[in-house]
Amino acid sequence: MNTQVEQPRRGPSLTLLHSIPIFAGVPDAQLEQIAKVAFQRRVPRLTTIVRAGDSTDSLYVLISGGAKVLNSDEEGREVILTLLGPGEFFGEMGLIDGSPRSADVMSTETCELLVITKNDFKRCLAENFDLCLNIMKSLVQRLREADRNIESLALMDVYGRVAKLLLDFSEEERGERIIRRRLTKQDIAKMIGASREMVSRVMKDLENQGYFRVEDGRIVILEKRVPAPNAAAARP
Ligand code: CMP
């Protein structure tokens, strides 16, 4: 498993910064300042970019690729808090409250990252109200997602949790809801607190019951309602 990232490379272009949601609405003059202090890094798949407990030094934006945010216990059991994709950022929590990193962030594929160091990030925040607002909106969005996850862990059985997760990860495409992102059964299990074997069984049942079909290796959601909790046997 990789723990090192490559050496920093060239800074980002304004066009690239314009395409990143947290910089939406930030005036060009201020984006130019950000372009001067930010740099790009490529990291291979399965690289631990941020490690839980470490002191904080930088904010990261995913330009391309994907990453998972996870926590693990001493026995190596993992819970995946979320999956991140292009345009999303991480590492802001420690920079905002000064606490150590709250979780590991590991690349799930080769990633191109934009990196802004702690002091530069704080200077950018102080000078950019739009940037502050965009970060706040993302934090609120994450809190909403965390609330929904707590709700489903407390109130749904494994059928409901799997069906809800598939629905949450699906995106509208030509009138259908498709899961574009690569989602392994192991990852699903670590996100909903069940075993991989249970997730395999439940997914087979949901497919047979017409909740989704698999087409060219992608999942197409057919039923948007989450199954009511009734299958006691499906509890982990
Ligand atoms: P930080 O604590 O500095 O390092 C770990 C990062 O993982 C954290 O900042 C956030 O950017 C990210 N993170 C932690 N929990 C979540 C979550 N529930 N959803 C999305 N990102 C998260």
pTM, rounded to two decimals: 0.88
- Please compute the mean of the pLDDT values over residues 59-84 and round it to a whole number: 95
Q: Is the pLDDT of residue 76 over 70?
A: yes
Check if 93 has its Cβ closer than 6 Å to any atom of ligand 1.
yes
Q: Is the pLDDT of residue 235 over 70?
A: no
pLDDT at site 232 = 43
Of 221, 117, 88, nearest in space to 162 by CA: 221
Residues 176-184: contacts with CB under 8 Å, at least 24 apart: 176/220, 176/221, 177/220, 177/221, 177/224, 178/218, 178/219, 178/220, 178/221, 179/218, 179/219, 179/221, 180/218, 181/66, 181/83, 181/85, 182/66, 182/108, 182/109, 183/83, 183/219
- Please compute the mean of the pLDDT values over residues 106-135 and round it to a whole number: 94
Percent of the chain with pLDDT over 90: 79
What is the Å distance from ligand 1's center to 92 Cα? 7
The CA-based diameter of the chain, rounded to the nearest angstrom, is: 59
β-pairing, 176-179 vs 171-173, is: antiparallel
pLDDT at site 9 = 62
Check if 50 has its Cβ closer than 6 Å to any atom of ligand 1.
yes
pLDDT at site 110 = 97
pLDDT tens for 162-173 read: 999 999 999 998
pLDDT tens for 134-187 read: 999 999 999 999 999 999 999 999 999 999 999 999 999 888 999 988 889 999
pLDDT at site 182 = 83
What is the Å distance from ligand 1's center to 25 Cα? 24
- Please compute the mean of the pLDDT values over residues 52-75 and round it to a whole number: 95
pLDDT tens for 198-223 read: 999 999 999 999 999 998 889 999 98
Q: Is the pLDDT of residue 236 over 80?
A: no
Check if 103 has its Cβ closer than 6 Å to any atom of ligand 1.
yes
- Please compute the mean of the pLDDT values over residues 96-106 and round it to a whole number: 96
Q: Is the pLDDT of residue 234 over 50?
A: no
Q: Is the pLDDT of residue 61 over 60?
A: yes
What is the Å distance from ligand 1's center to 91 Cα? 6
pLDDT tens for 223-232 read: 888 777 764 4
pLDDT tens for 23-60 read: 999 999 989 989 999 999 999 999 999 999 999 999 99
